[in-house]
Amino acid sequence: MSSADFRQIAIRAESGKAERLFRATVSAFCSLTRPSRREIAQLEDLTLPLFADVSVESRRYVAAALSECEYAPAALVRRLCEEPVDVAAPLLIRSRALSDIDLIALIGRHGLPHARAIARRKDLNPTIAHLIRALEKPTLVSVRQPEANAKAVPESAEVVADSSQQVPGAAAEAARRRLRSMMRDAESGGATINPFAGANTYVKLRETALTGNAAFFQTALADALAIDFSTARSLIANQNYTSLLAALRALDLGEERAFLITAAVYPTEFSHPQAIRIFLDRYRLLHRDAALDRLRGWKAETLSKAIRNAGPIAANADVRKADSDNAAASPKARRV
């Protein structure tokens, strides 16, 4: 299908009839046996700006149509999956456009309703399936283990049971650990025990951002930029992502990678496609030399702090050096 075909659909649609254009373009796309990248991009360019203007019924119709489409546009699929589960369910259950990482992120953002739909996928990653079961029944794993070991070690089993009941969210935290382990295995083949040993800069930033623990990400960012922790922390303490955008541009990350990291750190900033487009435009327009200038400023600030903090240490070092010189000059030292 050419761009002229899409334009004809738009011309036939009456003015203001976003619903008709939204459905017609997706229907036409789904009829293509093997769409080109250009046609996929055209569909996204036509449908995403209309998303806010169409009804729930149209979104549900498009989600069902794309769920059977082998080459569904990923951006549109992900946008539909952010809808309530009664709209997103067909895609969550069948769409091949969703990777394991996409599924994990959707479960993290939308919880059990989306997780239950994802659990119905064929060939679902066993780790994700196990974690969904753990989320469904968070006490199942923590209670069965003490019961199974009650005869062998009754006292320790009782302690485990008590601790599992007294620490709310322990099962959820265990689930998050398994998710992170699964993502690390997918990246490194499970060959390393250290979560970030041997990982490149992007992987470290991505993994720590996905943990939801700000301190982990700030530490990884400080290492990547060669600045101190407090400066890295100040970069993401703002209400907007401007400083983080400059930091990622200085690291010369691709726009997709930069967006994934930024969305993980500032999830509320990207609630609609236009916000994503604004981010990409800003990232593309930010010249790397300008970002490197800002990085040099951060490094200068780090160096200034290091010099200020090193003052007392240097003084103490001089005292210790003088003491050692005096000791060397003593008779006992000369005898030695």
Residue 277 is classified by DSSP as H
Contact 222, 231 (CB under 8 A): yes
Report, as an integer, the average pLDDT of 46-52. Answer: 88
The backbone torsions φ and ψ at residue 74, rounded to the nearest 5 degrees and listed phi first, read: -65, -40
Q: What pTM was estimated for this model as a whole? A: 0.44
Buried b / exposed e across 71-107, counting CB within 10 Å, b at 16+?
bbbebbbbbbbbbebebbbbbbebbebbeebbbbbbb
**Distance of alpha carbon 200 from its chain centroid, rounded?**
16
Residue 127 counted as domain residue:
no
In this predicted structure, the answer to whether residue 140 has a pLDDT above a threshold of 70 is no
Asked if residue 296 is part of any domain, the answer here is: yes
Domain C-terminal end among 48, 82, 99: 99
Give a yes or no: residue 273 inside a domain: yes
Pairwise CA distance, residues 300 & 292, whole Å: 12
Residue 144 belongs to a domain? no
**Residues 87 and 214 occupy one common structural domain:** no
In a domain, 336, yes or no: yes
Task: Compute the distance between CA of residue 7 and CA of residue 30 in angstroms, rounded to an integer.
Answer: 17
Q: Which of 78, 99, 120 is the last residue of a domain?
A: 99
Q: Is residue 295 part of a domain?
A: yes
- Model confidence at 256, in pLDDT bands (50, 70, 90)? confident
* Beta-carbon contacts of residue 87 (< 8 Å; ≥ 6 apart): 56, 59, 60, 63, 80
Mean pLDDT throughout 300-308?
A: 73
The distance between the two most distant Cα atoms of the chain, rounded to a whole number of Å, is: 105
Domain of 20? 3-99
Per-residue pLDDT at 333 exceeds 50: no
User: Is 231 inside a domain boundary?
Assistant: yes
End-of-domain residue from the set 99, 118, 144: 99
Domains contained in the chain, number: 2
Q: Are residues 95 and 221 in the same domain?
A: no
The answer to whether residue 108 sits within a structural domain is: no
